[in-house]
Amino acid sequence: MSTRDRGVDEVGRHGDWDADSRGWFGGEAEGWGGRFMPEALVRALDELTDAWHEAMADPAFTEEFATICREYAGLPSALYEATRLSELVGTRILLKREDLNHTGAHKIRNVLGQALLTRRMGKTRVIAETGAGQHGVASATAAAYFGLDCTVYMGSVDVRRQALNVARMQLLGTTVVPVDSGSATLKDAINEALRDWVASVDHTAYLFGTAAGPHPFPSMVRDFTRGIGDEARAQCLERYGVLPRGVAACVGGGSNAIGLFTAFLDDDVEIYGFEAGGDGFETGRHAATIKAGDRGVLHGARTYVLQDEDGQTIESHSISAGLDYPGVGPQHAHLAATGRATYTPVTDAEAMEALALLSRTEGIIPAVESAHAVAGALRVARGYGPDDLMLINLSGRGDKDMGTAIEWFGLGKGSDDAEPQEPVG
Amino acid sequence: MTVSTAFDKARADQRAALVGYLPAGFPTVDGGIEAMRVLVDAGCDVIEVGLPYSDPVMDGPTIQAAAQRALEGGVRTRDVLRTVEAVAATGTPTVVMTYWNPVGRYGVERFAADLASAGGSGLITPDLTPDSGAEWIAAADARDLDKVFLVAPSSTDERIAMTAAACRGFVYATAVMGVTGARATTSDLAGPLVARTQAVTATPVAVGVGVSTGGQAAEVAAYADGVIVGSALVRCLLDHDDPAQGRAALARLTDDLARGVRRA
């Protein structure tokens, strides 16, 4: 049963979508989130929680955040009706252009919010984890903007693969530390950042990159990214006089998705999250945590986790580094478990096809992460009528993914055989 | 013997108890058991069996390396319980140190039941605080198991009181703000933390993180009820490719530490 078929009352029964004061979405007994962390970090997390609550209630803080977002990051981002794509699909496709933000993705919202809070708390250093380097670059940018010291932890495999982003961070004045432990990927970069934080917590803030981790990060990151949905909802009403029938976003940890979804939770709007299906769900090589994972604890939150029979984390796989995470933000787990949002996997191949399609029909090269949202949303939108609106969060731009595209499509040779392998558009 | 009996006995001897940590399954399951028996024979009063986990946020490079090798060797939760059974059979109280997810995955009730029937005394939970641990506390109480939670230099007095009240066996005081691993000097944060904890509880307080020599053990034993050593013991095994040599090094270090807790 889709949320659209349900009465408002039934949706309303789950109407309390937010976490309780201890970070539980849906209550401690059966719900998601909480805080499974070493005692050494509890005081810092409590102080962060208090500072965030106070800041969000302080007009001076929220106004400064809005001003920086507007003047420095280029927000609010445009809402663009993709007319050629709409014609192709037979319904009206709206793109929330987060790809046009400073540093090229929605992530600037989160880091500016957290860095502003860091300054307010009187801390002088920030640390962050990064997979492909997008959150690292955003953190390095915010650190430069606010004059904070910045160290970014990055899996050593990713450091080699993403030399350009490593160089960007270094140019911005950040120290990039390669992480060799575990699988040397994003989850291990998070572990290493947490280890740093245990030892540096008195003067250091951890700019967590997604709406996951221990309380208050899932709720705080959502608060800093929810402008995506708040803006899009207002833009949609202003321009069309109605809300979209559906909204869609890609989900790794889930910060862009929760940033979009939050504004629509109490509306009669269908909500879709698209996870990385990798080589295909059936191959086991994917990052479809909600679809394939089981309830567990990872990085401080109870959520869906890709794990083996003994609770050891299983490595995820995706063509998109930004979605390649074996956990997911706990509020998404809650929205999935209650049926308020629908989460389905999109394979590497489907995402790359959508990336090429959007490039050719609209002149917009999306991030491969965002291409998952496009692919999944188009699948749903084929069942929509010509007047329905499908709103897709275009969470980032594709410049960083040119290496992936060159390899996937065999591009860059400057000859006839540079045509994409897939017939698209 | 229970954990509290071991601490009582050490206290009667006017010394601190020595708690030794090694991960199960390293270098192999049987090799790990042999190494832990060395700890018992050389003077450890309590054995901590580490449950290797893929994402150990509180551990430094030494324990990470050993745990990773154990996981690559295919160690399972049931092997950890087999290790507990073998070590507890020596009569030395044996506790499991584990991150939370493997316990939740195994089933909290089932883990408590199987740990108890293996002869294990209880659990040390580095990423589970009492305010998030209602399910474990209930299961442990039902099976008469020890619950060892951690306090840290950053803990508020309120949290120290709350944590100490929830502990049974001993309270684990993390001596430094940082991950596990040997350090050149003992922490000046540990003494005040132990004093703050002892002020609110009669449960023994043991200091872990950073102790690697008999001299450091003696310094800590001067104010704490127990001294916990992990990384330095693991290092003995990591540094020797020949397991027999590793065990010999382990015996020498444990002997040094056991003398240390006796000369405070």
pLDDT at residue number A293: 96
| A424 vs A296: CA distance, rounded Å | 40
Would an 8 Å CB–CB cutoff place A202 in contact with chain B? yes
Strand partners, A75: none
Q: Please say if the pLDDT value at position A10 is more than 80.
A: no
Would an 8 Å CB–CB cutoff place A45 in contact with chain B? no
Residues 84-143 of B with CB under 8 A from A: 100-106, 126-129, 131-132, 134
Would an 8 Å CB–CB cutoff place B50 in contact with chain A? no
Q: Residue A71 is which amino acid?
A: E
- pLDDT tens for A347-358 read 999 999 999 999
Domain extent at residue B37: 3-262
State yes or no: is B109 an active-site residue. Answer: no
Residue A191 C-beta-side C-alpha neighbours within 13 Å: 28
Residue B128 C-beta-side C-alpha neighbours within 13 Å: 25
- pLDDT tens for A108-152 read 999 999 999 999 999 999 999 998 899 999 999 999 999 999 999
- pLDDT tens for A251-298 read 999 999 999 999 999 999 999 999 999 999 899 999 999 999 999 999
Name the residue among A172, A171, A140 with its Cα closest to residue A154: A140
What CATH code is carried by the domain that includes residue B193? Answer: 3.20.20.70
* pLDDT grade for A415, boundaries at 50, 70 and 90: low
Name the helix (H) or strand (E) containing A40.
Answer: helix A39-56
Contact (Cβ atoms closer than 8 angstroms) between residue B175 and residue B217: no
Total number of domains constituting chain B = 1
A310 vs B contacts (CB less than 8 Å):
76-77, 102, 105-106
pLDDT at residue number A248: 99
Q: Please say if the pLDDT value at position A422 is more than 60.
A: no
Name the residue among A203, A249, A204, A241 with its Cα closest to residue A225: A249
Residue B248 C-beta-side C-alpha neighbours within 13 Å: 6
Name the residue among B210, B207, B237 with its Cα closest to residue B65: B237
| B7 vs A190: CA distance, rounded Å | 37
- CA A34 to chain B, closest CA, distance in angstroms equals 8
Q: Are strands A270-280 and A342-347 parallel, antiparallel or unpaired?
A: parallel
| A412 vs B74: CA distance, rounded Å | 44
Q: What is the DSSP string of A63-126?
A: HHHHHHHHHTT-PSPPEEE-HHHHHHHTSEEEEEEGGGSGGGBTHHHHHHHHHHHHHHTT--EE
Q: Please say if the pLDDT value at position A4 is more than 80.
A: no
Mutation site for B-interface testing, chosen from A195, A196, A203, A315 by largest number of B Cβ within 10 Å: A195
Q: Which domains does chain A have, with CATH numbers?
A: 32-70+107-221 (3.40.50.1100), 74-104+226-418 (3.40.50.1100)
B77 vs A contacts (CB less than 8 Å):
310-311
- pLDDT tens for A201-227 read 999 999 999 999 999 999 999 999 999
Rounded mean pLDDT of chain A?
A: 93
Least confident of A58-62, A179-183, A329-333, B252-256: A179-183
pLDDT at residue number B83: 98
The one catalytic residue among B13, B34, B59, B141 = B59
pLDDT at residue number A339: 97
Across A4-22, average pLDDT: 61
Q: Please say if the pLDDT value at position A25 is more than 80.
A: yes
State yes or no: is B59 an active-site residue. Answer: yes
Across A385-393, average pLDDT: 98
Q: Do A297 and B100 touch (CB under 8 A)?
A: yes
- Residues with Cβ within 8 Å of B19's Cβ and at least 6 positions away in sequence, in order, are B44, B45, B46, B47, B48, B170, B206, B208, B226, B227, B228, B229
Q: Do B55 and A299 touch (CB under 8 A)?
A: yes
Task: For chain B, list residues with pLDDT below 70.
Answer: 264
Q: How many CB atoms lie within 10 A of CB A417?
A: 9
3-state secondary structure A257-280: HHHHHHHHCCCCCEEEEEEEEEEE
pLDDT at residue number A421: 55
Would an 8 Å CB–CB cutoff place B60 in contact with chain A? yes
Chains A and B: how many Cβ contacts under 8 Å?
Answer: 115
Name the helix (H) or strand (E) containing A205.
Answer: strand A204-206
Across A47-61, average pLDDT: 98
Name the helix (H) or strand (E) containing B243.
Answer: helix B243-262
pTM of the model: 0.94
